[in-house]
Amino acid sequence: MTDRLPDHVRKLVAEIETEIGESADAALAAPIEGSAARGVNGPPNGRVEEAVRDILVEIGEDPNRDGLLGTPDRVHRMYAELTAGYHVDPERLVNHAIFEVGYSEMVVVKDIPFYSLCEHHLLPFFGTASVAYIPKGRVIGLSKIPRIVEMYARRLQIQERMTQQIADFLNDRLHPQGVGVVVEANHLCAVMRGIRKPGTIMTTSSVLGLFRTRDRTRAEFFSHLDRRPPGA
């Protein structure tokens, strides 16, 4: 059985999957397999809203007061949007944008902003991702790399896994000489609660192929990350 996502989530999925100027009709119309289990499909099934109302009562609030009447529905729609990455079709995202090119030097796309949700507390973590690979006869369209980051960020995540998933995605589809990914993020679960240390930044990396086996290649990648962008 297939159900369709709410319009605002379907549009977001289509935005991640398609280029400007491409037809997004197929992405907008496509049913999503298995999405009913996540409870984010329209019309709302009420379970998320009911759970949010229960939480409001548990913390001592009145879900029937004016300011909170619409909160359960808003929270439902918010989580549907923030977890839209579960519904992105990787093949539609790539959309044949892998090209045979005789280029074998490092390709680096850095400072890609992202926002995600920590799966342990459902609090945001956010920062930037930098991605590099060394082609072996195949390159991927530039815009696809930020889309890959977005696909994995819009899920319940831990930073370590997200970093590895981005690297594995490129490695599996390009079969390059190597892949390197570095993610730096602030975690609100370490700022708003628990240890409460604002300004703490977590850095994770995943290196495959030459980035793992050759020190010089890995050093070149990290040197690119230290360089200021043009005009900065």
pLDDT tens digit sequence for 56-86: 999 999 999 999 999 999 999 999 999 999 9
Active site residue 120: yes
Active site residue 119: yes
Angle CA(31)–CA(14)–CA(21) in degrees, nearest 5? 130
Selecting among 61, 121, 184, 224, the annotated active-site residue is 121
In angstroms, rounded to a whole number, what is the distance separating the alpha carbons of residues 232 and 222? Answer: 18
Selecting among 159, 164, 165, 177, the annotated active-site residue is 159
Collapsing DSSP to helix, strand or coil, 57 comes out as: helix
Is the domain of 134 the same as that of 28? no
pLDDT at 31 over 90: no
* pLDDT, tens digit (0-9, with 9 covering 90-100), for 132-169: 999 999 999 999 999 999 999 999 999 999 999 999 99
Selecting among 87, 177, 187, 220, the annotated active-site residue is 187
Query: Is residue 35 very low, low, confident or very high in pLDDT (cuts 50, 70, 90)?
Result: very low
% pLDDT > 70, the chain: 86
Selecting among 50, 120, 160, 175, the annotated active-site residue is 120
Last residue of a domain, one of 44, 70, 90: 90
Average pLDDT in the 114-129 region? Answer: 97
Is the domain of 211 the same as that of 113? yes
Q: How many domains does the chain have?
A: 2
Selecting among 22, 33, 50, 119, the annotated active-site residue is 119
- If one compares 38 and 134, the residue with the highest pLDDT of the two is 134
Active site residue 159: yes
In angstroms, rounded to a whole number, what is the distance separating the alpha carbons of residues 169 and 12? Answer: 21
Last residue of a domain, one of 90, 113, 128: 90
3: which 2 tokens? Answer: 């159900």
Collapsing DSSP to helix, strand or coil, 95 comes out as: coil
The number of beta carbons lying within 10 Å of the beta carbon of residue 117 is: 20
In sequence order, which ranges of 97-209 are alpha helices (DSSP H)?
A: 144-153, 159-174
| Residue 97 dihedral angles phi and psi, to the nearest 5° | -90, 40
CB crowding 40-63: b at 16 or more within 10 Å, else e: bbbebeeebbeebbeebeeeeeeb
Indicate whether 39 belongs to any domain. Answer: yes
| CATH code of the domain containing 13 | 1.10.286.10
Average pLDDT in the 179-198 region? Answer: 94
**Partner residues linked to 209 by β-bridges:** 178
93: left (phi over 0), alpha (psi -120 to 50) or beta: alpha
Is the domain of 15 the same as that of 105? no
Active site residue 50: no
Active site residue 160: no
Helix (H) or strand (E) holding 131: strand 124-134
Is the domain of 135 the same as that of 151? yes
Indicate whether 231 belongs to any domain. Answer: no
Check whether the bond before 72 is cis (ω within 30° of 0). no
pLDDT score, position 26: 46
Selecting among 118, 150, 164, 220, the annotated active-site residue is 118
Active site residue 58: no
In angstroms, rounded to a whole number, what is the distance separating the alpha carbons of residues 40 and 4? Answer: 9
Of 14-23, 25-34, 136-145, 147-156, the poorest mean pLDDT is in 25-34
pLDDT at 18 over 70: yes
In angstroms, rounded to a whole number, what is the distance separating the alpha carbons of residues 155 and 59? Answer: 26
% pLDDT > 90, the chain: 75
Tell me, what amino acid is at 37?
A
Last residue of a domain, one of 65, 90, 115: 90
In angstroms, rounded to a whole number, what is the distance separating the alpha carbons of residues 77 and 120? Answer: 20
221: containing domain: 97-226
pLDDT score, position 45: 65
Active site residue 121: yes
